[in-house]
């Protein structure tokens, strides 16, 4: 059973507001700002430009709870058959991304993180409708996305089950905000952390960080899910940030989280993605044969005034990782498209 503070629960066209937040009802003004921006260049490399929401930069974890509501339920109510409660605040009716995509992303993250294990049953359409205040069409479309991706299968009389193939995949579903990336990083385990506090300044690192001389702090580690390695990452930072990090903290938190909590303001990031093959070092760290396919992601994180703070190279096993980008047209782009079709 769901219980709400106040006399009237939020209906399908309104949402409860957190005091001091930018949340309003749909009938009022829209939420301030959009969750990032994005441009994509299709070709040999895919390049995305993203921006942090300003509220997240300063208080990225201040509103991690639900949106000013109190929700309780019995296990007997069966709103979530896996025992995982999914807050309706995870969906934003005012966002550019359709609700069914948002719901699919939420369910997908639960599956890939193991919170919905293999052979478990997803909540039924009525349960999704009640939990997220969405229509049956939206719930059905969201599950349909997961079916098309091979993560779940619908069964007559058995509900929608998580398929074994989902256990071997780790996914990143990019919506234009690094806040989501930080949350994804927290869901995986980190091992083999190594810190070089006086590493040589290689040419590609010098160019990315805009440094002329000196050394950098080099941080490498592997990422694991369900005991299986799926990524190897190497960060390069100016030496002045070296005193902010240590091996123990990096095994618990992402480097971006540590920087933010240390008072370092992060403004935006630029990343490129390419298909590659594993050299001897990468193959050894990813437990792959040399020459095996990997996905290489290079990212520069900027502070205010576009000053580079971190340059990271991440290598992902091609057999255990998927990368999804959600794209949408803004109003200006939609108007231009319609004019071109007229």
* Same-domain pairing of 155 and 237: no
Q: Indicate whether 293 belongs to any domain.
A: yes
- Cβ atoms of residues 290 and 197 within 8 Å: no
- Tens digit of pLDDT per residue, the chain (342 long)? 444 444 444 444 444 444 444 443 333 333 333 333 333 333 333 334 334 343 333 333 333 333 333 333 333 333 344 444 444 446 888 877 788 888 988 898 888 777 888 889 999 999 999 999 999 999 999 998 888 777 888 887 778 988 876 555 554 544 445 555 555 555 567 888 999 999 999 999 999 999 988 899 999 999 887 778 889 999 999 999 988 999 888 888 888 888 988 998 888 888 889 999 999 999 999 999 999 999 999 999 998 888 899 999 999 998 877 777 666 665 555 555 455 554
In a shared domain, residues 162 and 186: no
In terms of phi and psi (left: phi > 0; alpha: psi -120 to 50; beta: otherwise), the region of 6 is: left
Per-residue pLDDT at 90: 66
**Is 337 part of a structural domain of the chain?**
no
Task: Identify the pLDDT of residue 331.
Answer: 56
> Checking DSSP bridges between strand 268-277 and strand 228-238, what pairing results, if any?
unpaired
> Same domain for 182 and 163?
no
* Last residue of one domain, picked from the residues 134, 167, 200: 167
Which token pair is 98? 């359709």
Q: Is 192 contained in some domain?
A: yes
Which domain does 292 fall in, by range?
177-325
Hey, which residues does 316 pair with through a beta bridge? Answer: 231, 295
Please indicate, yes or no, whether residues 303 and 281 belong to a single structural domain of this protein.
yes
For residue 180, what pLDDT is reported?
54
| Residues 317 and 225 occupy one common structural domain | yes
The CATH number linked to 218 is 3.40.1410.10
190/291 same-domain check: yes
- pLDDT at residue 151 in the model: 82
SS3 readout for the chain: CCCCCCCCCCCCCCCCCCCCCCCCCCCCCCCCCCCCCCCEECCCCEEEEEECCHHHHHHCCCCCCCCCCCCCCCHHHCCCCCCCCCCHHHCCCCCCCCHHHHHHHHHHHHHHCCCCCCCCECCCHHHHHHHHCCCHHHHHHHHHHHHHCCCEEEECCCEEEECHHHHHCEEEEECCCHHHHHHHHHCCEEEEEEEEEEEECCHHHHHHHCCCCCEEEEEEEEEEECCEEEEEEEEEEEHHHHHHCCHHHHCCCCHHHHHHHCCCCCCEEEEEEEEEECCHHHHHHHCCCCCCEEEEEEEEEECHHHCEEEEEEEEEECCCEEEEECCCCCHHHHHHHHHHHC
Same domain, 191 and 299: yes
Total structural domains in the chain?
2
Asked, for residue 7, whether it belongs to a domain, the answer is no
Q: Are 202 and 298 found together in one domain? A: yes
| 188 assigned to some structural domain | yes
Residue after which a domain boundary falls, among 167, 192, 213: 167
Are 113 and 197 members of one domain? no
HSE-up of 81 (CA within 13 Å, CB side)? 17
């Amino acid at each position: 059973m769901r219980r709400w503070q106040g006399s009237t629960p939020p209906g399908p066209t309104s949402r409860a507001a957190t005091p001091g937040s930018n949340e309003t009802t749909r009938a009022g003004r829209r939420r301030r700002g959009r969750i990032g921006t994005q441009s994509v260049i299709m070709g040999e490399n895919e390049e995305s430009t993203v921006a942090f929401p300003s509220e997240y930069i300063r208080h990225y974890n201040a509103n991690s709870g639900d949106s000013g509501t109190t929700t309780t339920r019995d296990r007997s109510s069966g709103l979530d058959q896996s025992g995982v409660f999914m807050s309706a605040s995870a969906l934003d009716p005012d966002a550019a991304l359709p609700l069914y995509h948002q719901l699919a992303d939420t369910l997908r993250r639960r599956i890939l993180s193991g919170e919905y294990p293999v052979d478990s049953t997803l909540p039924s359409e009525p349960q999704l409708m009640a939990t997220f205040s969405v229509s049956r069409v939206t719930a059905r479309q969201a599950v349909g996305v997961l079916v098309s991706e091979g993560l779940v299968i619908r069964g007559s009389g058995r509900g929608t089950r998580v398929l074994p193939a989902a256990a071997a995949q780790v996914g990143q579903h990019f919506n234009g905000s690094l806040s989501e990336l930080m949350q994804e990083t927290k869901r995986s385990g980190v091992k083999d952390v190594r810190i070089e506090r006086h590493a040589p300044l290689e040419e590609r690192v010098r160019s990315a960080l805009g440094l002329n001389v000196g050394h950098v702090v080099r941080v490498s580690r592997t990422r694991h899910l369900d005991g299986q390695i799926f990524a190897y990452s190497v960060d390069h930072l100016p030496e002045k940030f070296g005193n902010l990090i240590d091996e123990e903290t990096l095994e618990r938190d992402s480097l971006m989280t540590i920087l933010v909590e240390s008072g370092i303001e992060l403004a935006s990031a630029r990343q490129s993605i390419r298909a590659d093959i594993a050299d001897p070092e990468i193959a050894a760290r990813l437990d792959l044969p040399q020459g095996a396919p990997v996905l290489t992601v290079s990212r520069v994180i900027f502070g205010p005034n576009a000053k580079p703070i971190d340059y990271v190279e991440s290598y992902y096993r091609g057999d255990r990782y998927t990368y999804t980008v959600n794209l949408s047209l803004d109003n200006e782009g939609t108007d231009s498209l319609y004019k071109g079709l007229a």
